[in-house]
Structure 1
Amino acid sequence: MPATRQPIPTSGDRRTAVDGNPGVFLRELRTEKGWTLAEVSERTRIPVSTLSKIETGKMSLSYEKLLRLSQGLEIDITQLFAAATSIPAATHTATGRRSITPAGEGPSIKTATYNYTYPSADLLNKTLNPMIIDIKVRSIDDFGDLMRHSGEEYVLVLEGECEFHTDMYAPSHLKTGDSAYFDASMGHGYVAVGEGPCRILSVCSATDADLKSALHPVDAE
């Protein structure tokens, strides 16, 4: 019975998790040993195409492949296992940004179609821009040109009902609690329906300057 081959110590201790990527580990080991993919394939009985996908991060390692690599390349399986399962540490640092807006407060802008209230206006350079919008217009004929701006938009009906118009889809009737998410570069507008008021929450990923440039003419009052 042939003797069992023992794993050969390598510099794997410093490579147990190269950016959490076993493909990087394998490529560095091949370079160190001077092996070609064909030679690794012969040693491990793993096809060259599969090895290439592993090295480029296009294929994950199953336990069977981990075992074949460990035995064929004579390395400790824990080195590969650590590289296959480790998760890179988060690099994002919390900024502590926070804004609280009491109900009914925030700067406002009145236009011919909407009355806007801006919560969290004290935070500059926001990734998202929330707006509370009271819809004044009740006919798309009175709306004028549909609005459009960069980014994406989410809208939630807080009170009443409205029609959601775009230049690419038929109008959608939204009731209290209904919502929509869409590409805001598409022409869009909201029209109140029914007898009561209609209020919506709109959250846009566009910059504040871009949003204000897209407003309909501001009321003189």
Structure 2
Amino acid sequence: MKQEDDELDSLVRKRVRALRVAQGWSLEELATRARLSPSSLSRIENGQRRLALDQLVTLARALDTSLDQLVETDTDDVIVSPLIDNAHGRMQWPIKAEPGMIVIRQRMTEPPPDNPARMRAHPGREWMVVLSGTAVLLLGNRRLRIETNQAAEFPTMLPHAIGVEGGPCDVLGIFDRDARRGHKE
């Protein structure tokens, strides 16, 4: 138990420093935001001062994160293996998201369906970013080309389908809770 506590303590200290540096803040700037002295913050980051819960809450707020994220230890599933859906010409990498949301990276190989009856509609909202290639989004009566580094956002109550044009396409899709449920059916 002591070793686990020491590992968590060290991880939190590293996160505080990494988040501060990522923001481009000096010790003085974060200390001011967290209402600590720069020397206290320095000792916290260097392990020379004990971490107190009230300080962690204040530091999390000052760093614009949550206490949960600051002390998160679940790193068991860092590597995500793809799920292969040969029936739809997709390879998907599920990625953790906020509660109720899901982020999926997909490699798509099939063109959009020719038959409008294969378009889906369900409650929710979807966002997608094309990482490489060209995606085709059928949305109601519209046919939209979405190229590398372009994004789309749409309500999923509109009949929709997604496919590719001119070869494989990598897409990052973000689904709210309702849209996620609609794709599981």
Give the TM-score normalised by structure 2. 0.51
Q: CA RMSD in A?
A: 3.2
Report Cα offsets for 1:113-155 as digits up to 9, x if no partner.
242423336x8x8321011122222243168611233321100
Change in 2 beyond 3 A, CA 1:144/1:108: farther
Q: Say whether the 8 Å CA contact 1:109–1:117 is kept in structure 2.
A: yes
Change in 2 beyond 3 A, CA 1:117/1:143: farther
Match of 1:59 in 2: none
Aligned residues: 118
In 2: Cα distance, 1:111 partner to 1:174 partner: 23
Q: Say whether the 8 Å CA contact 2:130–2:170 is kept in structure 1.
A: yes
In 2: Cα distance, 1:190 partner to 1:132 partner: 14
Q: Say whether the 8 Å CA contact 2:138–2:144 is kept in structure 1.
A: yes
Identity %: 17
Match of 1:152 in 2: 125
Q: 1:115 aligns with which of 90, 93, 105?
A: 90
Change in 2 beyond 3 A, CA 1:94/1:155: same
Change in 2 beyond 3 A, CA 1:142/1:110: farther
The AA in structure 2 aligned to 1:173 is R
Q: 1:132 aligns with which of 85, 91, 105?
A: 105
The AA in structure 2 aligned to 1:152 is R
Q: 1:190 aligns with which of 153, 162, 182?
A: 162
The AA in structure 1 aligned to 2:125 is E
